[in-house]
Structure 1
Amino acid sequence: MTISYKWLCEYLPVGESLPAELVEPEKLSKILTAVGLEVESLDYYESLKGGLKGVVIGEVLTCAKHPDADKLSITTVSIGEGEPLQIVCGAPNVAAGQKVVVATVGSTIYPSTGEPLTMKKAKIRGVESHGMICAEDEIGMGSSHAGILVLDEKAVPGTPAAEYFQLYTDWIYEIGLTPNRMDAMSHLGVAKDVCAYLSHHHKKHIAVKTPLKNNSLKASETVKLPIEVVIENTEACQRYAGVSIAGVTVKESPDWLKDKLKSIGLRPINNIVDVTNFILHETGQPLHAFDADKIAGGKVLVKNLPEGTPFVTLDEKERKLNEADLMICNANSEGMCIGGVFGGLHSGVSDTTTNIFLESAWFHPVSIRKTSFRHGLRTDAATRFEKGVDISNTVAVLKRAAALILETGGGEIASDVVDVYPNPKEKKQVAIKYHYLKKLSGKNYHPDAVKQILEALGFEFIKEGQDDLWFAVPFSKPDISLPADIVEEIMRIDGYDNVEIPAVISMAPSNDLLGPEEALKEKVANYLVGLGFNEMLTNSITNSKYYTAEVVAGGVKMLNNLSADLDMLRPSMMETGLESILNNLNRKNNQLQLFEFGKTYHSAGVGNYSEKRMLTLFVTGEATNAHWRSTGAPKDLFYLKAAVANLLSIIGLQSVQLIPYSSDELNGLEVLLNGKQSIGVVGFIGNAKLRRFDIKQPVLMANLNWDSILTAALQQKVSYKELAKYPAVERDLALVLDKAVSFAQIEAAVQQVKLPRLQSMRLFDVFESDKLGAGKKSLAIKFVFQDAEKTLTDSDVESMVGKLMKTFEKELQAEIRK
């Protein structure tokens, strides 16, 4: 939420009951944060970048042709003090006696296009020049470069250009507004909170200067443009007001209006649209202006149209309506506007419009939210309506807007104010008990303080009991319905910092024991962190465009998606992980080791949904950094394979095999448990998928089914044995094999021998050379033998090694290198 300081101060009684020093920009920033409107930034705003600092009004005293350039002139310019400046000027319209804009040496100007320019002393064709006489585009005030900007003769030399042009400056607050604070989505709403805070803390009544009073509209006696309003769907539209204005001139808005809108980041369009935008940010009430001459039959119908009805919106796109979309129609039941969301192309205000019908309404938040998401139209109006606007202000805001349109565009009121309110709403009543207030807040509040705070916020005091107070909740606060909500209002105006902290705080220590599943997860996470991995948490809602039509068909689509890019629960962990990797790579964080415990979601039909728990590892970048002794080495498949194998080993899964695996998205190894159950894959992500995310370096991924791993791990029986007392014996064998023979086949052959005293085997060298023979390779393997009962003799070891050698020669046609 963007708030203008100057605009906000128009609703504060500064100089009346409120001293100006209490609401200086920095102090006001602290007040806003104290009442729950956290100020994320406070920035100085200038309507022209740079604020024309160092730019002054000058008078051209003399003007003569440059002796060495036909298109240049040598001028002397008075800037009100000191000696006149000699300035070389190339403008064709420069002449003596003119009042001009001068950028002095040292100043920086910001042209309408191009880079900023800092003035320096220069020598142009041999003549010194001390500054620059500016055209309007050179100081960012327009687009013309036909010549220098010639000012009114009454301009006084030496006057700062910012003062002469009356540049608009302001302080702009960016507020981190929580979703429930609809009442603060306007300058007037923020002003109410500020006044309530100041009233409470300075013990005096400080009231908001509201612009919504005394806006009486007098209808013309001669010009009549009545528009009838009929609400057919009284649930989705509970109040609808409107008024006709005839003889309006659609034109550029006055400077004060344009300056206010620009300061909060809005682009001025014309006086009618600008007034509706101004009112939106002033009061929080969205408005819509129709071209009254285009309302067929002089009648407005608020209704729903049949499913699939085509409707062209202001962005010139044709949309198929849902039967639940609330529409503003003419007498022929032709849609003119998607109520509370977006206007239609053929009924809005244009440059030729002379008569308008101004709408102010209250639409049901649920209806607006569904329609807005259904069509992907996240407008400012929809954002307000879906949170609930103040239904009691519908007519008052309409009158305020109509008065501003008359002020900025002329015309006259051509009808009485129409106010259709079939079922007036009653205010919610909420009781707050003193002991409950003390329990939640930790502070004793005096009843008078409670009344003063709540009444300053617009609550209406109803009655007081022995232990409670009853209040009617203002329509501007639709989020308040419980006593706890009242406690929050009291505490934020009083200040959370004012809650006393007790000298002694008693608390019981937590003694929660992790269950077996949580313990395994913690064990794996600790192991990965020890390897240098970082845990991440990505959004389980993702973009369906990442996936093929087949995958999407078996996925879970969102019925009420948060945005067009977040419309599906993820069927795979890969894409959300790659989003995170891309985010890091774009910030030069190229060495990544990430892991995530998450879920994937699948559907076998409506109502038949399933989810899987997954463990995903991502690795990219270099395994070792380059230094003076060696070059960097990239992380490879074996690095991630080892991490996965060790991970499974430490949680008790020993019967694991890794076999070759390839798919469109990943090439590497498939992880098999007990030789048959697939529990995941490890490998390089395919180039096509990386290009989809604009990732230009290789990425390795291990995608493991955590549900299957948990099931298998929890079925393992834990056994313990005493550490062996006797030493281990090592033997190395070098095997010459066909290149097609894998290390997994060697492991399988070793298992056939069934040597209980063989503790481990490790490949420590791979050698390939033409000297070994065509299609041959040499693998050097270290075998470790140990007996728990005795020290192994050389004959014991040689016997076991001999069995291994015979098996390798028979099963793998290996040659044992001597």
Structure 2
Amino acid sequence: MNVSLKWLSTLVDIKGLDAEEMAETLTIDGIPVEHVIYPGKNLRGVVTGEILSVDKHPDADRLLVCKVNVGSGKTVQIVTSAHNVEPGQIVPVALDGAHVPATHDASQPSGLKFGDTLIKAGKLRGVESAGMMCSAGEMGLDLNLYPELNKEGILILPKDTPVGNDIHTLFDLDDVVYEMELTANRADCFSMIGMALEVGAIFNRKVTLREIAVRETGLPIAGRASVHISDSKYCKRFCGRLLENVTITRSPVWIENRLRSNGIRPINNVVDAANYVMLEIGQPLHTYDYDKIDGHSLTCRHAEEGEKIVTLDENERILSSSDLVISDGSNTAACIAGVMGGLNSEVTESTKNVLLEAAVFDSASIRRTSRRLGLRSEASGRYEKGINPARTEMAINRICQLLEEQGACQVASGMVDEYPVKAEPQIIVTSVRKINEYIGIEIPAERIINILTSLHFDVKESEGTLAVTVPDFRLDLEGMPDLAEEVARVYGYANIPNKTPWSAIKKGSISDEQKVLFNISDTLIADGMSQVVNYSFMDKKELKKLNYPETDKVYNAIKIMNPISEEYPDMRTTLLPGLLHTLAYNLAQHNEQISIFEHGHVYQPKSLPLTELPYEYALVSGLLCGGPEEKGYPNSNREYDFFDVKGIMEDVFKALNIKGYETVRSTYPVFHPGISADFVKDGKVIASFGALHPSVLDQMNIKKKVFGFVISIPEVLGIVDEVIDYHKIPKFPSSTRDLSMMVPTQYMNIDVEKIIHDAAGDNLESLYLFDLYQGEQVKEGFKSMAYKLSFRAADRTLTDAEVDQWVNNIVNALAKAGINLRA
């Protein structure tokens, strides 16, 4: 929102306040001013002048010589190339020494080059010229905000414009405008009256609000118009008034200038008055052509699924059942409530009677509709932040007053008003002591009461106890801490001394869970992975895309009462949805080498509906896609495979000093059943990893192979071994043997390794599989597996005879299991 200080000065006494210092104070006190704008900053020395004569240049066919009266009987000669000038016209004239913000430059897209241009008197083809006559563009005027001005050539001003006046006063270019960066909770400040009340309280200045009184000269509205609310949950109040014998014309210049200060283009007196009241009071209004409303009746209801409406921008909109509309007596949508009106009921130059609407719609509903349709406006923005129902009647009466004072209409007597549930005033009971304790200083009770009273709170004090009635326009206040904040900011944060708060200082430490998470993160980063952070929210409907069966506990998610978006209505129970969205986004940006992980908490309720804090625990998950090296020479362009993710998991558990876990085939539904595994220790799955299931990739519209992992921190915590096991470097050499064998297919690697370990004895130092083959040269029902065995003794060099004996024991044990050496 923008705040014109010229306009503000009509509501509150700001005389003597410096604009920059005032902006600084407001910002410190929680009403942030983002920019201070001076509309006529680079426009100086430009006055209004009357063209007395226009003659051809004696030495140039395209130039004209004009005599111009610039006030006080002073006549100057100006040479121009513009051909839209005639005697009797009033034009802006930049005299010698004037500054304008733009000059013509054909190389620029707009034809203008902006900066600070000094105008000098001189000669053009031998003829004296005392300056120049200006176009609207040369004066830096936004032509979109001045529809009545000519866009080409010299700017022609209205005939009744005084001669010799500074151009600043004509368009309020001498104003100062604050561009506000208000927080969403301060909905009351999204209006000039709200800002006036705030400025009056902060600077202890008198606020003078215009009395609103409507002169009703028309017949009663009763029986000639009606309004209805179908669901009071989505529309708290709905007011209507009738204007008759309406004259559609231009608004007064002062209204147009105040609209322009907020970047709103003037249209006609009726629409402008509605926009003016919205800026002044904060209540959006809508105007309908009364004679185009079937049955002269308006109803706020939900749209039918697929219902269509052509809006004022002449686009057809397809609505959903969550959208609010205003329909007429035939149930035809005449307006998308709070967002944009319908073309079929638009106020035009031929309109004779106007039906006014002032309503309070559900903020969440307006936000969803506005976002879905891509329609953002001053009105929808205010509805999203919250509207005060108590000011609805005030706003609709104010527009009637404005138009009636202009002589533009007759106001029908009475108002139709649906107000199903009136808001009860909020009373906060607290004490001076509690407020002072919360702020941390001692402010006298009288000063606290004066501050709250200046902010329009009604305060009743009895023996230090305060009963504070919150004004109806302060929708953001709920309890004592909010009151204390109001007192503190008006008292002045600079007046509150800096004090170190008392606290019981303890030696800092990190928990076991944090140690494990930091260790895992360091290991994954060392393996080339990048850490990401996603929202702690999800949509549990997406879990079906990840192959989770409907009976899985991940569906037992906590629903959020006020989600930040429709895309995130639930607290997350797994990290994978967020990671997959991050992966899909990167792939869409053509980043095809992706190796990401996240550690974070997930939330499992003990019961639903929620009656106690949920079980909150940490997981670590990651995804690999593409390859470990960037594409191109001289890199190998190798893609990630199962053994990459398995190696990363082994690195993690090696860093945590976890040993003795088994590797078994995984049943985790997100992973491919044939290309995945679990690490299991003491019967508990501590990690699952492998290739993502093809159906998961299809559902997420990912066309590449993806590998992933999930580590359960609660299962890991109990088995982390923090004792570092040091061994001396062996003095004696090892002896190695390779065994190649035919293994029945029902045996897995873990089974074969167990047989070898059991038979080898204590001197078997290491064992690993280095070859696996199944094909034409291997008998059906078997597979070829080759292992490297390493033997070592701590006290001597092993002899070949000793090693051969142990190998024979292994071969015999394997043979008993039906596993024989290859010939």
Q: TM-score normalized by structure 2? A: 0.69
Partner of 1:644: 649
Amino acid at match of 1:277: N
User: Could you tell which deviates more after superposition, 488-497 or 593-602?
Assistant: 593-602
Partner of 2:211: 214
Whole-Å separation in 2 of the counterparts to 1:780 and 1:108: 84
Whole-Å separation in 2 of the counterparts to 1:814 and 1:265: 86
Deviations 1:584-631 (A, max 9, x none): 89999998764213467999x99899999642224679867999x976
Q: Structure 1 residues 94 and 682 mapped into 2: Cα distance closer, same or farther (>3 Å)?
A: farther
Residue 498 (structure 1) aligned with residue 495 (structure 2)? yes
Residue 477 (structure 1) aligned with residue 474 (structure 2)? yes
For the 8 Å contact 1:662–1:668, the answer to whether it is kept is no
Whole-Å separation in 2 of the counterparts to 1:117 and 1:812: 90
Whole-Å separation in 2 of the counterparts to 1:4 and 1:381: 19
Report the Cα offset of residue 712 of structure 1.
6.0
For the 8 Å contact 2:811–2:820, the answer to whether it is kept is no
SS at match of 1:190: helix
Q: Structure 1 residues 806 and 268 mapped into 2: Cα distance closer, same or farther (>3 Å)?
A: farther
Q: Structure 1 residues 86 and 747 mapped into 2: Cα distance closer, same or farther (>3 Å)?
A: farther
Partner of 1:576: 578
Q: Structure 1 residues 62 and 218 mapped into 2: Cα distance closer, same or farther (>3 Å)?
A: same
For the 8 Å contact 1:192–1:208, the answer to whether it is kept is yes
For the 8 Å contact 2:307–2:318, the answer to whether it is kept is yes
Q: Structure 1 residues 496 and 714 mapped into 2: Cα distance closer, same or farther (>3 Å)?
A: same
Q: Structure 1 residues 391 and 148 mapped into 2: Cα distance closer, same or farther (>3 Å)?
A: closer
Residue 655 (structure 1) aligned with residue 650 (structure 2)? no
Q: Structure 1 residues 11 and 794 mapped into 2: Cα distance closer, same or farther (>3 Å)?
A: farther
Deviations 1:327-358 (A, max 9, x none): 76666777756766765665453554321122
Whole-Å separation in 1 of the counterparts to 2:218 and 2:731: 113
Q: Structure 1 residues 658 and 551 mapped into 2: Cα distance closer, same or farther (>3 Å)?
A: closer
Partner of 1:681: 689
Q: Structure 1 residues 484 and 730 mapped into 2: Cα distance closer, same or farther (>3 Å)?
A: same
Partner of 1:123: none
Deviations 1:66-109 (A, max 9, x none): 8xxxxxx564879999x99999x7x8879999989999999555
User: Could you tell which deviates more after superposition, 91-100 or 395-404?
Assistant: 91-100
Partner of 2:710: 704
Deviations 1:367-423 (A, max 9, x none): 554576489578765664566533443333222222334467822223334566687
Q: Structure 1 residues 423 and 617 mapped into 2: Cα distance closer, same or farther (>3 Å)?
A: closer
Whole-Å separation in 2 of the counterparts to 1:79 and 1:723: 104
Whole-Å separation in 1 of the counterparts to 2:785 and 2:407: 89
User: Could you tell which deviates more after superposition, 684-693 or 575-584?
Assistant: 684-693
Whole-Å separation in 1 of the counterparts to 2:157 and 2:382: 46
Report the Cα offset of residue 444 of structure 1.
0.7
SS at match of 1:414: strand
Q: TM-score normalized by structure 1? A: 0.69
The 5 A counterparts of 1:274-673 are 274-298=272-296, 312=309, 314=311, 316-317=316-317, 319=319, 346-362=344-360, 369=364, 373=368, 381=379, 384=382, 388-406=386-404, 410-418=408-416, 426-462=424-460, 464-502=461-499, 505-510=501-506, 517=513, 520-528=516-524, 535-542=531-538, 562-563=564-565, 565-566=567-568, 573-574=575-576, 576-577=578-579, 579-580=581-582, 594-598=596-600, 614-618=619-623, 636-637=640-641, 640-651=645-656, 652=658, 654-657=660-663, 669-673=675-679
Amino acid at match of 1:458: H
SS at match of 1:27: helix
The 5 A counterparts of 1:744-759 are 752-754=755-757, 755=760, 756-759=762-765
For the 8 Å contact 1:729–1:784, the answer to whether it is kept is no
Partner of 2:30: 36
Amino acid at match of 1:188: I
Deviations 1:438-496 (A, max 9, x none): 2211011112211221111111233x211223332211113334222211211121233
Amino acid at match of 2:450: Q
Q: Structure 1 residues 745 and 447 mapped into 2: Cα distance closer, same or farther (>3 Å)?
A: same
Q: Structure 1 residues 511 and 148 mapped into 2: Cα distance closer, same or farther (>3 Å)?
A: closer
Give unpaired runs (5+ residues) of structure 1.
Answer: 67-72, 121-126, 200-205, 767-777
Identity %: 22
Whole-Å separation in 2 of the counterparts to 1:384 and 1:148: 39
Aligned residues: 753
User: Could you tell which deviates more after superposition, 643-652 or 655-664?
Assistant: 655-664
SS at match of 1:645: helix
Whole-Å separation in 2 of the counterparts to 1:114 and 1:159: 32
Q: Structure 1 residues 447 and 318 mapped into 2: Cα distance closer, same or farther (>3 Å)?
A: same
Partner of 1:114: 109
Q: Structure 1 residues 283 and 44 mapped into 2: Cα distance closer, same or farther (>3 Å)?
A: same
Q: Structure 1 residues 133 and 394 mapped into 2: Cα distance closer, same or farther (>3 Å)?
A: closer
Whole-Å separation in 1 of the counterparts to 2:383 and 2:595: 45
For the 8 Å contact 1:279–1:401, the answer to whether it is kept is yes
Give unpaired runs (5+ residues) of structure 2.
Answer: 71-75, 116-124, 773-783
Whole-Å separation in 2 of the counterparts to 1:109 and 1:737: 89
Residue 11 (structure 1) aligned with residue 17 (structure 2)? no
SS at match of 1:220: strand
Amino acid at match of 2:109: G
Whole-Å separation in 2 of the counterparts to 1:409 and 1:804: 113
SS at match of 2:483: helix
Amino acid at match of 1:37: I
Amino acid at match of 1:536: V
- CA RMSD across the alignment: 6.4
Whole-Å separation in 2 of the counterparts to 1:190 and 1:423: 28
SS at match of 1:20: coil
Report the Cα offset of residue 285 of structure 1.
1.7
Q: Structure 1 residues 105 and 387 mapped into 2: Cα distance closer, same or farther (>3 Å)?
A: closer
For the 8 Å contact 1:311–1:321, the answer to whether it is kept is no
For the 8 Å contact 2:44–2:99, the answer to whether it is kept is no
Whole-Å separation in 1 of the counterparts to 2:695 and 2:164: 65
Whole-Å separation in 2 of the counterparts to 1:757 and 1:35: 77
Partner of 1:190: 195
SS at match of 2:216: coil
For the 8 Å contact 1:250–1:353, the answer to whether it is kept is yes
Report the Cα offset of residue 63 of structure 1.
4.5
Whole-Å separation in 2 of the counterparts to 1:553 and 1:193: 56
Report the Cα offset of residue 246 of structure 1.
1.4
